[in-house]
Chain A
């Protein structure tokens, strides 16, 4: 089957060198491909879909008739990362996460980085995501972002670049775990031949991290979900079950005598740690959204008094805002006195006049993003945009420059992906997950998302993205 695989020379391909030779860490897989045939792979793909449906690894699409359950497409060609490369990513992520937590603690306390003029105060303090209610609140171990998903891509220069740090409620880790389970079931022979680092420990790491986030001895931990109609409900339910803790909705919680309680069949029970998968705005109607039916009235006051832990903390969104992103390397230097290990994408801040001028002049080569946007919406990808889209965006930029940042268009690396009649290169990204408790913990790997449409750079599942299993090899010698 490998004969059918043709790469475009101006992209970095994860499996092949530009001369068509395979990279060393794909050696075993390459050998396997030689005997794999298209029909067998297609059969396995159907089998996988059936299994995913039966297990119910599906998400709801709002507005879809009958609330049909959809699958996020799964591609069975693994994305393989050699051990040495992972070691670098691992160090880089730890460094970044440490600096981001230090930044969050700082801006809600002494604001040293603002006073030093390294990050402009107005970028932080008037940011919608900055929560004044968090000022002066002391958190156990000073950790704000307990669970972090760092989005990265590899450019055609072969280097990894961080696109975004997800510090609010990053999702996708259940797909990382289920994809691995599926791969081991479909292609056990691939796992026998080489040492692929296991990822199965993630839920126990997560539980340990959540337990360490509370000063209470043997704390009661729960997962808070918006409910079973949420698109990530499967993941919420999955993680609660894997950790053996209760999955609660806000109606199951109430505040009494300065503590958060849940309603159980044996009466009220005190809750110490809430791994919340709902946004800040829907946590407490008394504090944030009086019009909201969601949330636990009084939760914020209990939180501020230190009687319950929220993971992640309230107000972490300011640090993963796209307007703050350009300063992360400066944070690393400022708080850790280290050189950043991971690259940021060169970013122009349109609120600066000279940056705006540059962006407008080079719009067709750039990616423009809304500062508060998420999910791949509200962005312009210059090289593939029409004249009309370019001119629309030019107007929008001039009208509200502070609302946008712009970045060089990275040519996301490609990874072989099964299509109907063989293999084809498709663009991918990578989201490893870091957990911050007494230690920073990562399982080797993460979620690889793949843009299944030919030529597309958008990997979001809402816009035609799929996922792949991510293999980190335990030692480079084994390949």
Chain B
């Protein structure tokens, strides 16, 4: 496959996943902000800002942090490169450049979402319909994925899309865990701890899965273990890394095996680590190291396949 096409597919998928993750995080942030919690200073509103590193930009543009402002900033503000709108814009640009490599169902799912999103932007959203908007963004993401699994040829195009999705998802999950870990370390209040964990699980659609797997109350270690080491959970780091490894095998070699080397080492660690060995030096430390390795993998994928000389 043409390197430029592979690159377009990869980035299209990354931006679509990024938009979905934002919708998930904003959705739970919204719910969290409605909970009457003793001693809360509105820290939960900072979650999406900390996650995307846009706190400074937000404060420059908006000053005080309120829920409606946060929505507008993350939903439809094109001045925020991390807004859902901006992510979709990038996703559409990439998809448009490679539309010939997509099935018409996949292309149309993306194109019609984009048309609708521009209309929504003209109308604007309010706190009252923010939920509906986030649900819609998630739905359109599901539609894209369904169209892809249902109609796209199993080949390089599919592999690069999946790799893009899963790279972004592992990055997102790891960041979410990291930010959450910081919050937990500052908490002594057990009610707030509960909401922190509950939010985290809901953001990755894993609240019910937790019950099904562990059948007990929420415990920080178990939640983290589930989202890192359990391969059954579709948004856990283990399951993301597992599929990236499979997809890189499918693409095969171009004479340069760096990405496959890196992913194999990472996968071995996820498969054979115990929770105790993983967190010897602290979870926060491990998550940061994981993000660094993920970046190195992204660089090598870029270098090997997407910007081939």
Interface residues of A (CB under 8 A from B): 53-56, 227-228, 237-238, 240-241, 246-249, 251-252, 262-267
B308 touches A265 (CB 8 A): yes
Contact A264 B100 (CB under 8 A): no
Shortest beta-carbon contacts, A-B, top 3: A241-B100, A237-B100, A265-B305
CB contact list, B73-104 vs A, under 8 A: 96-97, 99-101, 104
Contacting residues, chain B, for A265 (C-beta < 8 A)? 1-3, 6, 156, 160, 251, 254, 305-306, 308
Determine the chain B residues whose CB is within 8 A of the CB of A263 once the complex forms: 2-4, 308-309
Q: Show 17 A/B contacts (Cβ-Cβ < 8 Å), sorted by A.
A: A54-B112, A54-B115, A55-B107, A56-B96, A240-B100, A241-B99, A241-B100, A241-B101, A248-B2, A263-B3, A263-B4, A264-B2, A265-B2, A265-B6, A265-B160, A267-B254, A267-B308
Nearest CB of chain B from residue A274's CB, rounded to whole Å: 14
For A55, list chain B residues within 8 Å (CB).
104, 107-108, 111
Smallest Cβ-Cβ distance to B108: which chain A residue: A54
A238 proximity list for chain B (CB < 8 A): 100
With a cutoff of 8 Å between Cβ atoms, the chain B residues found around residue A267 in the complex are: 254-255, 308
B99 touches A246 (CB 8 A): no
Distance (Å) between the CB of A214 and the closest chain B CB?
Answer: 20
Residues of B within 8 A of A249 (CB): 4
| B5 interface hit (Cβ, 8 Å) | yes
The chain B residues found within 8 Å of chain A, CB to CB, are 1-6, 96-97, 99-101, 104, 107-108, 111-112, 115, 156, 160, 251-252, 254-255, 305-306, 308-309
The answer on a CB contact under 8 Å between B97 and A228 is yes
Chain A residues with CB below 8 A from B115, complex form: 53-54
Expressed in whole angstroms, the minimum distance between the Cβ of B7 and any Cβ of chain A is: 9
- When the two chains form their complex, are residues A262 and B2 in contact, meaning their CB atoms are under 8 A apart? yes
Give Cα A129 to B305, complex, Å.
Answer: 40
Known A228-B96, A265-B305; judge A246-B2 contact (CB<8 A).
Answer: yes
Roughly how many angstroms separate A56 CA and B104 CA in the complex, as a whole number?
10
Residues of B with C-beta under 8 A to A53: 115
Known contacts A54-B108, A248-B4; 8 further A-B pairs (Cβ under 8 A):
A54-B115, A55-B104, A247-B2, A262-B2, A263-B309, A264-B1, A265-B305, A266-B254
Q: A54-B115, A246-B5, A252-B3 are in contact. Are A264 and B96 (CB under 8 A)?
A: no
Q: Is B99's CB under 8 angstroms from A237's CB? A: yes
**CB-CB nearest in chain A for B309:** A263
Cβ distance A35 to chain B, nearest Cβ, rounded Å: 32
The CA of A145 and the CA of B104, in the complex, are separated in Å by 31
In the assembled complex, which residues on chain A have CB atoms less than 8 Å from the CB atom of B251?
265
> Distance in Å from the Cβ of B197 to the closest Cβ of chain A?
41
B92 to chain A, nearest CB (A): 10
Query: From A249, which residue of chain B is reached at the shortest CB distance?
Result: B4
Which residues does chain B contribute within 8 Å of A237, judged by CB atoms?
Answer: 99-100
**B100 partner residues in chain A, CB cutoff 8 A:** 237-238, 240-241, 247
Instruction: Using CB atoms, name the residue of chain B closest to A267.
Output: B254
Give the residues in chain B near A241, CB-CB below 8 Å: 99-101
A126–B100 alpha-carbon span in the complex (Å) = 40
Q: Which of A54, A56, A228, A252 contacts B2 (CB under 8 A)?
A: A252
- Complex-state Cα separation, A263 to B6, whole angstroms: 11
Question: In the assembled complex, which residues on chain A have CB atoms less than 8 Å from the CB atom of B255?
Answer: 267
Q: For residue B97, which residues in chain A have a CB less than 8 angstroms away from its CB?
A: 227-228
The reply to whether B111 and A252 form a contact with Cβ atoms under 8 Å apart is no
In angstroms, Cα B255 to Cα A249, docked, is 24
B111 → chain A, closest Cβ, in Å? Answer: 5
Quick one: closest B residue to A245, CB to CB? B100
Q: How far is the CB of A449 from chain B (nearest CB, A)?
A: 25
Cβ of B56 to closest chain A Cβ, rounded Å = 28
Contact B111 A54 (CB under 8 A): yes
> How far, in angstroms, from A149 to B124 measured CA to CA in the complex?
46
Chain A residues with CB under 8 A of B309? 263
Q: Which residue of B lies closest to A228 (CB)?
A: B97
A234 to chain B, nearest CB (A): 8
The docked-state distance in angstroms from the alpha carbon of A228 to that of B101 is 14
How long is the Cα–Cα vector from A278 to B112 in the complex, in angstroms?
29
* A40 vs chain B, min Cβ distance (A): 24
Contact (Cβ within 8 A) A251 B107: no
A240 to B111, CA, bound (A): 19
Q: Give bound CA distance, A462 to B101, whole Å.
A: 29
**How far apart are the CA atoms of A96 and B96 in the complex, in Å?**
38
Contact partners of A247 in chain B: CB under 8 A:
2, 5, 100
